[in-house]
Structure 1
Amino acid sequence: MAFSLFNFGKSENNDTKQKVVDVKLDQIIPNRYQPRQVFDKDGIRELAQTIDEHGLLQPIVVREYEPAKYEIIAGERRYRAMKLLEWETAPAIIEKMSDHEAASLALVENLQRSQLSSIEEAQAYRRLMDLNHLTQAALAKGMGKSQSFVANKLRLLKLIKPVQTAILDHRITERHGRAMLDLDEKQQRDMLMKVVNNRLTVRQTEDEVAKNLGRPLPSEIAKQKAAARQRELAPIAPSGEPLPPVGTQQSSASAKKKKSRAKRKAKPAKQINDARLALNTIKKSIQLAKDSGFTVTTHEKNDDKSYQLVIEIPKKQ
């Protein structure tokens, strides 16, 4: 994957085995291209406790950038945990790498293994593109991502630094940040204060941004779409009773006649299309979730015996 794309991680002698050696902790420094900017202190303490009880299961990877001086390629959390335990040396594998290779590998290693924030991930993608002179398409292919996924992450870097920092510190979410992308710098600053101070939801933030830009409110648009879909769904509802047009009224007698006709018409359809009716109802609910801002992926199959619908909703939206 990414290793072949960036042309590193290949040994000149494939028969050479990697040796684990003890390196003094005070001779090791973190990698300057480490994408993670915020380390969970509680997580480091828990890792230190695990290492203290069970030992270090996987050595860190370093490179010698100067005589007797080493830079971490992979394993900074383990390095921090060992420092917390006041170890004098760390089990390490020493790789021979150029500055360029070390920087690229550190970025890829963390992108593949760490739960980075969206801002850290975007910054890592940008650094990899700059270091290796890659297009978005080439980077996406090398990382096993879609080009749209990479492009959407990179767009977050257009946010002003205070907004990026708020995402890094978990004061606002990535979706809050995305809602502010069309605002200028001053508007972003003002909106950030409003979101944090008033604890606005993503939808409330989207509405506030729309007000600033003179656009229709997303919440109103969603309501209108939901109402329209409900009107579309009503004719195939189990009761067979369509919703009356907005603003119209029916007499009691007229309503009873229509109700009676609807029941007669709906009965055979209900017997024949129960499964399809259930499937359509589920699809409408899925569309409601999409219009509310959720990412939902569906896979549908059907055969002579049944309909199959697999719904995927990423936990991290």
Structure 2
Amino acid sequence: MAKKNRGLGRGLDAIFGEVSQAYENSMGDSERAVLELSVEIIKPNPYQPRKYFEENALQELADSIKDHGLLQPIVVCEDENGEYVLLAGERRLRASKLAGMHTIKAIVADIDTHKMRELALIENIQRADLNPIELAYSYQELLDEYGVTHEELSQRIKKSRTQITNTLRLLSLEAFVQESLIEGKITQGHAKVLVTLSPQEQRLAMDSIIGQRLSVRDSEALIKNIKNPSKIPSKSQPKANIDRELLKEAQEILRQNAYKASVKNNQICIEFSQDVEIQAFIEKIAH
């Protein structure tokens, strides 16, 4: 079955215009539209792309609401059953519940509920701070739904094409890397350099990045080493051209100083039987 392609002009572009206009109309008449609603009767938007809410940040917002009240109302609309559905302000709603508030100020927007999915995506992309993975899924939904290119999407949502493409590449990361990015254990810069690695290499690199608190630059060096490990000299490689007589002379000097020394494969091996012998050797060569 052919992929649905509505075209930029009549698809995504039209949705942006209609949603933005309806939203602005409701905001312009906010005195009439603001209600005090019970926090328990507000239904979540089933298309909300935001899935992760940082607990400490929510608690800070809850404390602020306790002290100063809610400064910006949430936005809801009425569905076909006359129930209120959240359009914008999920963090404010969650924080208000956390603060023990029973009601919340809400602006009732006159928006077709069939556009809730598009509105949720657009509202979050343009007005809120999704984590990189949530943002990537939002971009992907818009691309899939309207069949537009990265360039066309970038022009419409005022984001660079490079930013959109790099963000979408994060969806190719293994789930455990995406989770670490969502939880803030690594940054998007770290995640971006992991994209070209295999699942096993991603695990190895991510553990090193977190465990050693590597910067993005250090992580890039780590990835280069993983992808191009230094070659260990093999037995088939030619041996270094070392004068055997010099090795034997060094061996004799060591023996005269009571060290057990032997020559093997262009190396001088010194044997120690006690820690005190090692310590005495170190002190001697250090002076």
Specify which of 100, 119, 139 is matched with residue 86 of structure 1. Answer: 100
Structure 2 CA distance for partners of 1:172 and 1:13, relative to 1, 3 Å: closer
- The aligned residue for residue 171 of structure 2 is 157
TM-score normalised by L of structure 2: 0.65
The amino acid of 2:179's aligned partner reads T
After TM superposition, give the deviation of residue 166 of structure 1 in Å. 0.7
Contact 1:74 1:109 in 2 (8 A): yes
Structure 2 CA distance for partners of 1:100 and 1:189, relative to 1, 3 Å: farther
After TM superposition, give the deviation of residue 167 of structure 1 in Å. 0.9
- The aligned residue for residue 232 of structure 1 is none
SS at match of 1:119: helix
The amino acid of 1:81's aligned partner reads A
1:92-116 Cα distance to aligned partner (Å, 9 max, x none): 1223444552122222222223233
SS at match of 2:20: coil
- The aligned residue for residue 9 of structure 1 is 20
After TM superposition, give the deviation of residue 24 of structure 1 in Å. 2.1
- The aligned residue for residue 135 of structure 1 is 149
1:36-58 Cα distance to aligned partner (Å, 9 max, x none): 33323333233233333333232
- The aligned residue for residue 205 of structure 2 is 191
Unaligned runs of 5+ in 2: 1-11, 231-287
Specify which of 75, 81, 91 is matched with residue 61 of structure 1. Answer: 75
The amino acid of 1:80's aligned partner reads R
Unaligned runs of 5+ in 1: 217-317
- The aligned residue for residue 41 of structure 1 is 55
The amino acid of 2:29's aligned partner reads K
Specify which of 139, 143, 162 is matched with residue 148 of structure 1. Answer: 162
Mapped partners of 2:147, 2:156: distance in 1 = 13
Range moving further from structure 2, 19-28 or 2-11: 2-11
Structure 2 CA distance for partners of 1:110 and 1:49, relative to 1, 3 Å: same
The amino acid of 1:108's aligned partner reads I
Q: Which structure has the higher relative contact order (CA within 8 Å, separation 6+)?
A: 2
The amino acid of 1:9's aligned partner reads S
Contact 1:104 1:131 in 2 (8 A): no
Mapped partners of 1:108, 1:5: distance in 2 = 9
Contact 1:59 1:91 in 2 (8 A): yes
After TM superposition, give the deviation of residue 130 of structure 1 in Å. 2.7
Structure 2 CA distance for partners of 1:3 and 1:45, relative to 1, 3 Å: farther
Specify which of 163, 168, 181 is matched with residue 167 of structure 1. Answer: 181
After TM superposition, give the deviation of residue 12 of structure 1 in Å. 11
1:65-92 Cα distance to aligned partner (Å, 9 max, x none): 3524332111111111221232222221
- The aligned residue for residue 249 of structure 2 is none
Contact 1:140 1:150 in 2 (8 A): yes
TM-score normalised by L of structure 1: 0.59
Structure 2 CA distance for partners of 1:181 and 1:94, relative to 1, 3 Å: same
Mapped partners of 1:95, 1:132: distance in 2 = 25
- The aligned residue for residue 201 of structure 1 is 215
Number of corresponding residues: 215
Contact 1:3 1:9 in 2 (8 A): no
The amino acid of 2:174's aligned partner reads I
1:73 corresponds to 2:87: yes
SS at match of 1:35: coil
1:20 corresponds to 2:31: no
Structure 2 CA distance for partners of 1:99 and 1:178, relative to 1, 3 Å: same
After TM superposition, give the deviation of residue 141 of structure 1 in Å. 0.8
- The aligned residue for residue 273 of structure 2 is none
Contact 1:119 1:156 in 2 (8 A): yes
Mapped partners of 1:12, 1:210: distance in 2 = 48
Mapped partners of 2:59, 2:225: distance in 1 = 45
Mapped partners of 1:100, 1:129: distance in 2 = 18
Contact 1:27 1:68 in 2 (8 A): no
